[in-house]
Structure 1
Amino acid sequence: MQLQVPKFEIKELAPKRTKYCLCIPVINEGKNIIQQLERFQRFNGNQLIDVILCDGGSTDGSTEEEWLMKLGVNTLLVKTGPGKLSAQLRMGYYWSLERGYEGIVTVDGNGKDSVESVPLFIQALDEGYDMIQGSRYIDGGQAINTPWIRHISVKLLHIPIISYAAGFRYTDTTNGFRGYSRRYLLHPEVQPFRDIFNTYELLAYLSVRAPRLGFKTKEIPVKRVYPPKGKIPTKISFFKGNTDLLRILFNVVCGKYNPNENTRD
């Protein structure tokens, strides 16, 4: 099957330096991504892992190349084709694998996550894990100022459904702080490079598929901090966004995203 990846532009700011890369999807994140990259640079995180920004088409000036170079970003990918978050991730994963990285860590670009935890993902990849899920709900993790409606929906709906479909007990399934091995993403029974993954489908699918296929899966503790007041940093609208998430959960349980005989090489 031909890999389906949205059109994108590549702006390499530095050569490949590390075994793994950190893909950060962004779109108009403003000061959030700037502050996040500054935090990452303060403990020399960009010396441990190449930072790849997966931009969905920002227009707020937060992805200016000169500024990104000062912040230690290795490469900026700019999606010019259609699609939302899953399309950005397909773009980032495809390019990262083509460049030869042995594993990929992902974290949201809105500044909520503990980028200081990235070394834990690197360690897990080195130990041979294929699907590493960051969790704020296990020992050592922290969930700070999580909106009550988000907390309840994750705990009572998303986690039980994904865990049931995966046959693996997850504790934090909406968290985009994750790690994937190269062998998992390129396995013929996975095939993440399909246009069916457009919004949030790819996150749920990859969580379920790894345990089902016998790939080594684990959770590691992370911290996720929401602002104590003001607008919640999220791209998910309350009604349409949550309705779409329910549809995705239903499709995952039914195996709709699994490769069929026509899509296998």
Structure 2
Amino acid sequence: MGEALVVVPTYDERENLPIVVARTLAATDDGVHLLVVDDASPDGTGELADALAAEHPRVHVLHRTGKEGLGPAYLAGFGWGLERGYDAIVEMDADGSHHPEDLPRLLAQLAHHDLALGSRWVPGGRVENWPRRRLLLSRGGNWYTRIALGIDIADATGGFRAFRADALRRIHLDDVASHGYCFQVDLVWRALQAGLRVIEVPIVFTERVHGVSKMDGAIVSESLRLVAWWGLRRRVQAAFELLVHHRRLRSVRANSSRADAV
């Protein structure tokens, strides 16, 4: 597959970052690099990332001026990687919930697919140490997404995934507006609409040990609102296309009847 870039957004992840970096470097070969995208973490995560980059040639750092959300951080990382010619770009959390040891399996799928989704909810995937509330939120959110968008994806909200670089270029990243975890649904939805080859790969997801989750009510609200809007737009578009089809069919029949009469 060539060289791959693992994009890891951070905000106050000083305790987790050294562990994630060490595991990523140990689990992958020299063709896999890691980019820490730090949103000016007040706990010094950015400075620690610089120190790790100075120590490890495969680690890079992109500093941003403030906390702008998960989506913009990933988009900045994607742009950094695409500009430098990486063949594959991976999303991975900085809190240790994603296992870097699964990276080779995700990247291997890009030989025949455009997007490999690390999935908690397909056979073989599972979640460890999550409270019941988070389990219900994730299960319910994915069910809601499947119904609203009419997609056959078990885990559209997961954040551990690998893209072929040319696939990212095909899904129009310039107009992505989602900021929170809805960003994940947004990219899957765009990939499917673009006709990309998508596969789900079972992974183990482990609740973070250090720090606190960035999930809050505003993120959930954004997800519900945007997915509902995308679902409504899909149905309106389908109804319009059906109407156009029926009008064309009636026109063909009318022309055929006039021709028979002549």
Q: Residue 96 in 1 paired to residue 81 in 2? A: yes
Deviation at 1:139, TM superposition (A): 2.7
Q: Residue 61 in 1 paired to residue 44 in 2? A: yes
Work out whether residues 51 and 72 of structure 1, in 8 Å CA contact, stay in contact via their aligned partners in 2. Answer: no
Hey, what's the Cα distance between the residues in 2 that align with 1:253 and 1:78?
A: 35
User: Counterpart of 1:172 in structure 2: which amino acid?
Assistant: D
Hey, what's the Cα distance between the residues in 1 that align with 2:207 and 2:211?
A: 7
Q: Residue 114 in 1 paired to residue 95 in 2? A: no
Q: Residue 143 in 1 paired to residue 127 in 2? A: yes
Gaps of 5+ in 2: 235-262
Deviation at 1:227, TM superposition (A): 5.0
Q: How does 1:135-174 map to 2 (within 5 A)?
A: 135-156=119-140, 158-174=141-157
Deviation at 1:181, TM superposition (A): 1.8
Cross-structure match for 2:32: 49
Work out whether residues 34 and 62 of structure 1, in 8 Å CA contact, stay in contact via their aligned partners in 2. Answer: no
Hey, what's the Cα distance between the residues in 2 that align with 1:148 and 1:232?
A: 19
3-state SS in 2 of match to 1:220: strand
From 157, 177, 181, the equivalent of 2:160 is 177
Identity %: 23
TM (normalized to structure 2)? 0.79
Aligned length: 231
From 10, 19, 36, the equivalent of 2:3 is 19
Q: Residue 235 in 1 paired to residue 214 in 2? A: yes
Q: 1:46 to 1:248 in 2, by over 3 A?
A: farther
Q: Residue 250 in 1 paired to residue 228 in 2? A: yes
1:107-156 alpha-carbon deviations (Å, 9 max, x no partner): 011111111100012101122x1122111222332210122112112212
Q: Residue 213 in 1 paired to residue 213 in 2? A: no
3-state SS in 2 of match to 1:133: strand
3-state SS in 1 of match to 2:145: helix
Hey, what's the Cα distance between the residues in 1 that align with 2:128 and 2:138?
A: 15
Cross-structure match for 2:55: 70
From 41, 62, 68, the equivalent of 1:83 is 68
Hey, what's the Cα distance between the residues in 1 that align with 2:169 and 2:145?
A: 22
User: Counterpart of 2:226 in structure 1: which amino acid?
Assistant: I
From 203, 212, 231, the equivalent of 1:222 is 203
Aligned-residue Cα RMSD (Å) equals: 2.4
Work out whether residues 165 and 208 of structure 1, in 8 Å CA contact, stay in contact via their aligned partners in 2. Answer: no
Which structure has the bigger radius of gyration? Answer: 2
TM (normalized to structure 1)? 0.78
Deviation at 1:50, TM superposition (A): 0.9
Work out whether residues 120 and 127 of structure 2, in 8 Å CA contact, stay in contact via their aligned partners in 1. Answer: yes
Of Structure 1 and Structure 2, the greater helix share is in 2
